[in-house]
């Protein structure tokens, strides 16, 4: 392959699988450099990965998002293959995924998980993925069916323009939203997804991490769509003010009195709060557009991926 390809593997206690994962990607991408970023493993993952031929880096800050932040900063390549080190993803699909990225001039290709194994893709995880992906699509636009997949191919310009704010498993959401915000060309390709081998344990907690991902979507909604977010807050406050004010107004029309002064003051406060939300949304919308332009310039500063790209 003419491109400089880097396989980057975020790992935490994957001693049971990491040697096979490194060997599989070495087989299907023989010219690629393979990096294992070990996140404070206690089971000898780093030593096993090094013995298998991978370049090992250590990341002290715990969490997958922190690992991705370090991987994207440390590794230079034309094409990046990021995959979990748990041996659930199909290494043989990597060449075709890379080819799709290059031939179509894409910035990200997501390996959309396809599996009939209940143990591989538990119903709770499947339902949570569909729900969270759908929720994010309703806010940022629909481009993904499997937003939380851990198998992705990136162009250099995607990696070098990614801000990497997330700290843990919510980083997949941030990866998707970054592409949607900059309207990058992306694609999903169905790939086989298998169950973890015996001795390998998932680090994902369905409820805890699902809640974190949901909160991340809401935070990104506020950050990237401030006018829409604060307009909802404005409408909610104003509606509450009107609902509380109706009976007070009716009493005033009948008697000329305002007997519930605290409620009347609350109505005024809610209305003022609503307009404050609206002003915040208008100001932050302008700030966000400026920040988005800066991200766009950083993205365009790197050449687009192409089959004709050659490593000199």
| Rounded mean pLDDT, 85-108 | 94
pLDDT of residue 121: 55
> Does position 248 have pLDDT exceeding 50, yes or no?
yes
Cα–Cα distance for residue pair 103/183, rounded to 1 Å: 18
What local confidence, expressed as pLDDT, does residue 270 receive? 95
Q: What is the value of pTM for the model shown?
A: 0.79
- Residue with token string 């990136």: 154
Task: Report how far residue 212's alpha carbon sits from residue 312's, in angstroms, rounded to the nearest whole number.
Answer: 43
Question: What pLDDT is stored for residue 217 in this prediction?
Answer: 82
What pLDDT does 206 receive?
Answer: 64
| Residue, of 3 and 6, whose pLDDT is higher | 6
pLDDT of residue 312: 29
* Crossing angle for the helix pair 226-255 and 261-300, to the nearest 10 degrees: 170
Q: What is the mean pLDDT of residues 192-196?
A: 80
pLDDT score recorded for residue 209? 66
How many CB atoms sit inside 10 A of residue 192's CB? Answer: 16
Query: What does the pLDDT read at residue 34?
Result: 97
For the sheet containing 186-192, what is the strand order? 55-58, 33-38, 5-11, 79-82, 152-155, 108-114, 186-192
pLDDT tier, 256 (very low <50, low <70, confident <90, very high otherwise): confident
Is 158:107 a contact under the CB 8 Å cutoff?
A: yes
| pLDDT given at position 115 | 76
**3-state DSSP assignment of residue 153:** strand
What percentage of residues in the chain have a pLDDT greater than 70? 89
Q: Dihedral angle at the C-alpha atoms of 214, 215, 217, 223, nearest 10 degrees?
A: 170
Residues 241 and 312: their CA atoms lie apart, in Å, by 66
- The per-residue pLDDT for 220 is 82
In whole angstroms, what is the distance from residue 262 CA to residue 232 CA? 25
Q: Strand (E) positions, 64-134?
A: 79-82, 108-114
For residues 126 and 290, the model is more confident at 290
Q: Which residue has the tokens 């935490």?
A: 12
> pLDDT at position 125, please?
61
**Separation of alpha carbons 109 and 175, rounded Å:** 11
The pLDDT confidence band at residue 310, using thresholds 50, 70 and 90, is very low
């Amino acid at each position: 392959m003419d491109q400089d390809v880097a396989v980057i593997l975020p790992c935490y206690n994957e001693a049971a699988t990491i040697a096979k994962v490194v060997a599989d990607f070495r087989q299907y991408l023989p010219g690629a450099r393979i990096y294992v970023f070990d996140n404070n493993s206690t089971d000898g993952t780093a030593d096993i990965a090094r013995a298998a031929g991978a370049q090992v880096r250590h990341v002290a800050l715990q969490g997958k998002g922190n690992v991705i932040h370090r991987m994207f900063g440390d590794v230079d390549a034309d094409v990046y293959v990021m995959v979990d080190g748990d041996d659930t993803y199909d290494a043989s699909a990597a060449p075709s995924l890379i080819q799709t990225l290059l031939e179509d001039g894409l910035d990200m290709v997501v390996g959309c998980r396809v599996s009939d194994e209940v143990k591989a893709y538990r119903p709770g995880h499947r339902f949570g993925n569909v729900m969270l992906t759908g929720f994010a699509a309703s806010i940022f636009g629909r481009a993904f069916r499997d937003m939380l997949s851990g198998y992705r191919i990136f162009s250099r310009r995607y990696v070098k323009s990614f801000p990497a704010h997330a700290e843990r498993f919510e980083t997949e959401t941030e990866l998707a939203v970054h592409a949607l915000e900059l309207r990058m060309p992306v694609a999903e390709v169905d790939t086989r997804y298998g169950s973890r081998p015996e001795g390998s344990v998932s680090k994902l907690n369905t409820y805890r991490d699902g809640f974190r991902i949901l909160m991340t979507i809401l935070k990104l909604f506020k950050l990237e769509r401030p006018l829409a977010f604060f307009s909802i807050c404005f409408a909610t406050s104003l509606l509450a003010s009107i609902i509380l004010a109706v009976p007070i107004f009716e009493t005033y029309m009948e008697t000329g009195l305002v007997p519930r002064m605290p409620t009347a003051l609350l109505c005024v406060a809610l209305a003022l709060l609503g307009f404050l939300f609206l002003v915040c949304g208008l100001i932050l919308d302008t700030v966000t557009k400026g920040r988005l332009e800066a991200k766009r310039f950083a993205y365009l500063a790197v050449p687009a991926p192409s089959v004709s790209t050659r490593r000199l």
